[in-house]
Structure 1
């Protein structure tokens, strides 16, 4: 996590949750609904050791500890939890003050196809499609309706927690940080912390 600070900012990480719908609020990109008996689809990595996220679907803001949030966004950061958000149970964190910084996490319930829903739309719906290193042993991919890494500093990482489920971890860098570091690296590191916390609670 300390490396994340160095990558994005010497002080606060000025982040906003990735949102293809509304800036500042984590929102999953719309996906189609592949047949759930056909997952994982062709080329989609299988989740050999599924992660039980049941508890965190009820308390998504516990996916990051208070200390981790402070490290990311500074003291006084607040959390907004939405258990009935359209994409699934969601938590968005915002720092104190007037910045637009947030980090967003969604326990995605758009469909029951997991990463297959994203893989099937690579190059069409999702112009940004980039498999990334596993997150604590779980397959992951960076994706978006368009590639906004260098223009807006936005990136979302989807982590397959089972063949049928995934978690979205999304960030957007501040204007001061856009182009200075890869937002997908930051999102990946936050995703690692989230998965570690979920595993640690089991």
Structure 2
């Protein structure tokens, strides 16, 4: 993998555990839980300026079991031992799994298999400067495009970031990261989210 789990753990957690005060799952009022703010059909994707996904991945099975996006060892290295994923197949943005550390304040990861529309990254790009005032394309992962987005930029204020990973022209997998309170402002949560996206992509493709 391009980023070691140790590096990701350092971005999310601190060496000293804190008392949990806030859930790690990003809230709709923050970065938002959906990358599809407007409805539409899948014609005309990708839109102008939106990177094309040349080798699409079928994530149908993962939508039925979203917690399979990360395995137990990956979660432990990211958030510590004893963290179990919470599945929500009826989440507004699409089937999701949330992992929240019980020992470290705020730290958590959520993976969402978006199904609000069939526009993929085009929907995220269409919301740039509108619903999403924070918009930052990130390096592609093995030619799969990635963009960080949010209603506002919460990287240094709340230690949160969401990235959308394009797995086809009509489908994104969104990764939301919340850092521990002690790490806010010290490391870029979007870099952490990008690293988690790398692991998720490998799992979607069955790469170990």
Question: Does TM-score exceed 0.5, indicating one fold?
Answer: yes
Give the one of 7, 11, 15 matched to 1:11: 15
Q: Are residues 93 and 131 of structure 1, via their aligned partners in 2, closer, same or farther at CA, if it must alter by over 3 Å?
A: same
Superposed CA RMSD = 2.2
Identify the residue that residue 67 of structure 2 maps to in structure 1. Answer: 61
Query: Given that residues 155 and 190 in structure 2 are in contact (C-alpha distance below 8 angstroms), is that contact kept between their aligned partners in structure 1?
Result: yes
- Does residue 77 of the first structure (1) align with residue 83 of the second (2)? yes
Q: Following superposition of structure 1 onto structure 2, how do residues 101-112 of structure 1 map, counting pairs within 5 Å?
A: 101-112=107-118
Distance 1:156 1:62 in 2: 19
Distance 1:2 1:52 in 2: 29
Please report the TM-score for the alignment, with normalisation by the length of structure 2. 0.87
Query: Given that residues 79 and 93 in structure 1 are in contact (C-alpha distance below 8 angstroms), is that contact kept between their aligned partners in structure 2?
Result: yes
Identify the residue that residue 20 of structure 1 maps to in structure 2. Answer: 28
Identify the residue that residue 39 of structure 1 maps to in structure 2. Answer: 45
Query: Given that residues 156 and 187 in structure 1 are in contact (C-alpha distance below 8 angstroms), is that contact kept between their aligned partners in structure 2?
Result: yes
Aligned residue pair count? 199
Distance 2:56 2:179 in 1: 31
Q: Are residues 68 and 28 of structure 1, via their aligned partners in 2, closer, same or farther at CA, if it must alter by over 3 Å?
A: same
Q: Secondary structure at 1:171's aligned position in 2?
A: strand
Unpaired runs of at least 5, structure 2: none
Distance 2:103 2:9 in 1: 19
Q: Are residues 45 and 13 of structure 1, via their aligned partners in 2, closer, same or farther at CA, if it must alter by over 3 Å?
A: farther
Please report the TM-score for the alignment, with normalisation by the length of structure 1. 0.90
Query: Given that residues 105 and 181 in structure 2 are in contact (C-alpha distance below 8 angstroms), is that contact kept between their aligned partners in structure 1?
Result: no
Q: Structure 1 residue 185: deviation in Å? A: 0.1
- Does residue 151 of the first structure (1) align with residue 173 of the second (2)? no
Query: Given that residues 34 and 116 in structure 1 are in contact (C-alpha distance below 8 angstroms), is that contact kept between their aligned partners in structure 2?
Result: no
